[in-house]
Amino acid sequence: EAGVAQSPRYKIIEKRQSVAFWCNPISGHATLYWYQQILGQGPKLLIQFQNNGVVDDSQLPKDRFSAERLKGVDSTLKIQPAKLEDSAVYLCASSLRGGGSGDTQYFGPGTRLTVL
């Protein structure tokens, strides 16, 4: 079974530029998550999709971050414009059901973003 795919693996941009990350979850998984992991910290949920609807985006900085999950499969996360403090690893995860089931989340390798 293929795992969660993410691209690119690394990205370096200047502040105020825009950037986009792509995620392809495990086939058949209904729920998709985007996390931000700053060095030395645990992952922090940015947005959670159930199929193509948003379940939780309470910690997404909506003035600069946006995400979409077209057709309930792939997803993209965009930052525009980027700030220095956005330097982090962006992790995508998926789970079969999601919701309150305590479902296992399967993580991709992440995209390491450096904002100069």
Partner 1 sequence: SQKIEQNSEALNIQEGKTATLTCNYTNYSPAYLQWYRQDPGRGPVFLLLIRENEKEKRKERLKVTFDTTLKQSLFHITASQPADSATYLCALVGGSSNTGKLIFGQGTTLQVKP
Task: Please select the residue that binds partner 1; options are 28, 40, 71, 84, rule is CB under 8 A.
Answer: 40
Question: Mapping DSSP to helix (H, G, I), strand (E, B) and coil, where does residue 83 land?
Answer: coil
What's the min distance (Å) between Cβ of 81 and partner 1? 27
Q: What angle do CA 87, 22, 100 make, to 5 degrees?
A: 90
Q: Is 25 in the site for partner 1 (CB under 8 A)?
A: no
Task: Please select the residue that binds partner 1; options are 5, 26, 55, 73, rule is CB under 8 A.
Answer: 55
Task: Please select the residue that binds partner 1; options are 19, 91, 113, 115, rule is CB under 8 A.
Answer: 91
How far apart CA 24 and CA 41 sit, in angstroms, is 24
* Residue 63 CB partners (closer than 8 Å, separation 6+): none
List interacting residues with partner 1 (CB under 8 A): 4, 31, 33, 40-45, 48, 55-56, 91, 93, 95, 97-110
